[in-house]
Every structure is written in structure tokens, then in C-alpha cells.
């Protein structure tokens, strides 16, 4: 009975929260947003149930998830390019860009530092690696090859692509973002001559946003397919639980660290960005999609759409969210630091404060370098291990559960981007307008 009363109260709260925080212009109205969120949550629960009971047979519905993922991914490049260009041209005065980038990058760096610190503190308290057997672990050859292409120095190099079309084809976002910023500045600098092109990208962006809101209606089924398929591929949730049990404390460490960071982000939203809790409710569709797709990049269209419905300033959402989806990865950074320490503990290697400081820096850089795609963090993890001189075979301990933890860290990454957009929104309101 009490549960029903509580359920009804939560229902009413979410409904009014979304109603208060959504606009009706060019996107979904609040009623639709509300029902969509409910259906997405039902999709998650149904996916879990089907994955749990059907086991491998659940992979039969995975194509629904793949279809959703592909549809979202298809929108990313035109949306991102048009959003960033119009984000820059709509600043009015290009000199504001310097301040906007300054506040955005400071936010990224501060929150990622908090995340890594939480990861290190949790792993030192829980000590999840102590007593874990490392017998029979093999070199992760595939990951080593992938990591070779991604040294820390290469992160800078990867910011400029020799071929923009190839970068787009490979969803290599950073060079595309930098190009779009530069092009936006150029358009804004040539006065009237730049206006037709700016208007073209503005209308491209509006059209893309409408497409996103259409695709969002497909999210409940897509999320269902993705989640059922993921447990199906793991050979049922029961089989998966056994794998979790083998490195149970590592899972507990990462999940509790991510939860603490998630809450800190909520506090930043409340006290720095001064958004009400309904902002979080409005972003839930993006957060759940991030969990289901394990990709910040594929989630980007939905993140932008939710921010738009929450009335986040267009300059903030068009600039901060695309950049954040590839650079700002708090969850990944926390995970990399915690996982490196876990491996050190499993191999009985004591890391002093100096070495932990190196983990701190390399985990931050590795998270910045990780792409917003599933399990990208595992590849950049190799860099962290190599920098500190930890055995890379240790990664074998993490493989079985990585795809699962990936979902939680991706959800945290996307939530971090959303809070960043709110912080910059607040800054723009206070200092630029």
C-alpha cells in the first residue's frame, strides 16, 4: 500500500518536473517526454527480465538495440558539426569563445580530478585486489596493438586529422570539433558574407534536432534490445553473476566510487549551476541511453535534445556537450585509476604516493584520450599500466566484467557532460548576457 502511495508520488513529481522544465518549441512536449521516460524505464526492466531468463536466446532481440544504436550514430556527425558551428557563430562576439572555453575546460579538469581522487580513495579503503589470483593471465595482444596507436603524445596529434571526411567516417570527433570551432570563428569574422553559411548550419541543426526527437520515440524498444542482448551475450545474467563474484570487490569499488561521483555532480548541479533537481529528471533519458549503449558519442543526440528541453542556453549545449562527449569522461577516469590500483594490489605491488600521483595524471589523460565508444577505456587503460610499470596481463582480470562496468561509467560520463552544460549556462547568464 505504502509502495503504491510512494509510486504515485514519484509519478506525479516526475511529471510536474518535466512539465516545468520543458519547452514546446520544435521538440517533444512535456507529456511526451514524461511518457517516454516511463517507457524507457520499462524497456530497461523488460530487457533485464528477458536477458535474465532467456540467457543466450535473448540475443535474438539484440538487433532491435543495434538498429537504435545505428540510427543514433547516423545522426551524430551532421548534428555535431552544425551544433558546434552555430554554437560559435551565435556567441555574437568571438572573443567570448575564449572565456567560454576557459570555463568549460576548467569544469572538465576539476570534475575529472575529483573523479580520479574518489577512485583512488575507494580502492585504498576497500583494497579489492588483495588476495585475487593472477595465475594464468595472458598478454592482452589485441588491446596492446590498439593501445600502440594511442600513446599519450598521440592524443595531441589526434586533434588534427589530415582528412576531415575520413575523420567523419571513423567518428573521430575531436578533429571535427576543432575544425567546426575554427570554421565558426571564420564565419563570424567575415561579417555579412558569413551569414548565409551560418544560417545554413542553423537550419541543418534545427532539422537534425527534430530528427533526434523522432528517433527518441524508438528509445524504449532500442534500450530493451540493447539490454536483453547484452545479458544474452553474457550467457544469461546468472552466468554473469558468477563472473562478477570472481572480482566482486573490484565491482563494488568502482560502482560505489561512481555513485559518490554521481552525487557530487548532483551537488554541483544544485549549488554551482543552480538548476533544480528536475534538471536531473529531464536528463534521465540521456543517462539511461548511455547505460544501454555504453557510448557517450551515440548518446550525444539525446543529451543535446534533453538539454534543449531543459532550456539550457543553446551556446552552452552546442559547445559543451559535443566536446564533453569525447573529452570529458569522469566515469572512465575514475575507473582507470581504480582498476590500475586493483591490478597492483592483485600482483602484490605496493604503490607509494608518488606512483599514485602518476596514476592520477595518466588516468586523467587516458580518459581524455578515450573515444566515446564501448570499452574504449579498456584500451587506454594499457597506457596507464605502462606508464606506472604495472603488468599489462593484469587487464585479464577485468575483461569479463568490463562491458558491464562500462555502462555505469558511460552513464556517469554523460551526466558529467550534462552538468557541465548547466554550469556554463549559469556562467553565460551571469557574465555574458
Binding interface with ligand ASP (CB under 6 A): 294-296, 329, 332, 370, 372-377, 406, 409-410, 413
Q: Whole-angstrom Cα distance, residue 161 to residue 185?
A: 19
Give the chain's radius of gyration (CA, Å): 21
Q: Which is nearer to ligand ASP, 30 or 293 (CB)?
A: 293
Q: How far apart are CA 115 and CA 96, in angstroms?
A: 29
Using the minimum distance from each CB to ligand ASP, give the nearer residue, 332 or 362.
332
**Minimum distance of ligand ASP from residue 368's CB (angstroms):** 11
Burial (CB count <10 Å: 0-12, 13-18, 19+), residue 266: middle
Contact (Cβ atoms closer than 8 angstroms) between residue 368 and residue 256: no
Q: How many residues does the chain have?
A: 433
Helix then strand then coil, in percent of the chain rounded to 5, is 80, 0, 20
Residue 326 grid cell: 569525447
Q: What distances in angstroms separate CA 419 from CA 211, 218, 280, one per listed residue?
A: 24, 25, 9
> How far is CA 253 from each of CA 262, 362, 368, 394, rounded to the nearest angstrom?
14, 20, 22, 17
Query: Of 327, 379, 355, which Cα lies nearest the Cα of 158?
Result: 327
Give the span between the Cα atoms of 43 and 222, in whole angstroms.
8
Amino acid at each position: 500500500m505504502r509502495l503504491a502511495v510512494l509510486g504515485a508520488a514519484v509519478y506525479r513529481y516526475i511529471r510536474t518536473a518535466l512539465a516545468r522544465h520543458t519547452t514546446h518549441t520544435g521538440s517533444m512536449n512535456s507529456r511526451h517526454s514524461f511518457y517516454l521516460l516511463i517507457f524507457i524505464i520499462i524497456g530497461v526492466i523488460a530487457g533485464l527480465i528477458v536477458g535474465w531468463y532467456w540467457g543466450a536466446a535473448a540475443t535474438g532481440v539484440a538487433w532491435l538495440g543495434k538498429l537504435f544504436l545505428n540510427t543514433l550514430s547516423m545522426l551524430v556527425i551532421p548534428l555535431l558539426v552544425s551544433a558546434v558551428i552555430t554554437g560559435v557563430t551565435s556567441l555574437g562576439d568571438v572573443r567570448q569563445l575564449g572565456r567560454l572555453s576557459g570555463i568549460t575546460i576548467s569544469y572538465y579538469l576539476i570534475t575529472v580530478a575529483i573523479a580520479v581522487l574518489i577512485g583512488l580513495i575507494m580502492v585504498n579503503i576497500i583494497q579489492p585486489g588483495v588476495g585475487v589470483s593472477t595465475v594464468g593471465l595472458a598478454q592482452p595482444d589485441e588491446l596492446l596493438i590498439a593501445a600502440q596507436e594511442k600513446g599519450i603524445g598521440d592524443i595531441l596529434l589526434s586533434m588534427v586529422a589530415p582528412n576531415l571526411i575520413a575523420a567523419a567516417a571513423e567518428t573521430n570527433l575531436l578533429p571535427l570539433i576543432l575544425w567546426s570551432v575554427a570554421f565558426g570563428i571564420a564565419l563570424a569574422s567575415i561579417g555579412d558574407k558569413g551569414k548565409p553559411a551560418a544560417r545554413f548550419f542553423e537550419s541543418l541543426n534545427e532539422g537534425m534536432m527534430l530528427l533526434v526527437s523522432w528517433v527518441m520515440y524508438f528509445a524504449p524498444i532500442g534500450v530493451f534490445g540493447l539490454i536483453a542482448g547484452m545479458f544474452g551475450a553474457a550467457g544469461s545474467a546468472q552466468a554473469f553473476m558468477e563472473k562478477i563474484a570472481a572480482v566482486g570487490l573490484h565491482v563494488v569499488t568502482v560502482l560505489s566510487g561512481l555513485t559518490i561521483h554521481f552525487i557530487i555532480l548532483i551537488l554541483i548541479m544544485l549549488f554551482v549551476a543552480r538548476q533544480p533537481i528536475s534538471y536531473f529528471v529531464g536528463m534521465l533519458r540521456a543517462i539511461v541511453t548511455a547505460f544501454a549503449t555504453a557510448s557517450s558519442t551515440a548518446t550525444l543526440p539525446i543529451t543535446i535534445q534533453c538539454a534543449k528541453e531543459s532550456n539550457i542556453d543553446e551556446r552552452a549545449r552546442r559547445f559543451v556537450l559535443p566536446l564533453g562527449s569525447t573529452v570529458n569522461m569522469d566515469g572512465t577516469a575514475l575507473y582507470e585509476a581504480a582498476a590500475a590500483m586493483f591490478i597492483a594490489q592483485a600482483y602484490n605491488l605496493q604503490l607509494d604516493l608518488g606512483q599514485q600521483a602518476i596514476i592520477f595524471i595518466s588516468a586523467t589523460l587516458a580518459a581524455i584520450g578515450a573515444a566515446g565508444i564501448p570499452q574504449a577505456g579498456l584500451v587506454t587503460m594499457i597506457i596507464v599500466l605502462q606508464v606506472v610499470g604495472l603488468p599489462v596481463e593484469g587487464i585479464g582480470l577485468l575483461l569479463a566484467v568490463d562491458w558491464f562496468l562500462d555502462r555505469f561509467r558511460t552513464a556517469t560520463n554523460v551526466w558529467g557532460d550534462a552538468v557541465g552544460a548547466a554550469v556554463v549556462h549559469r556562467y553565460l547568464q551571469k557574465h555574458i548576457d
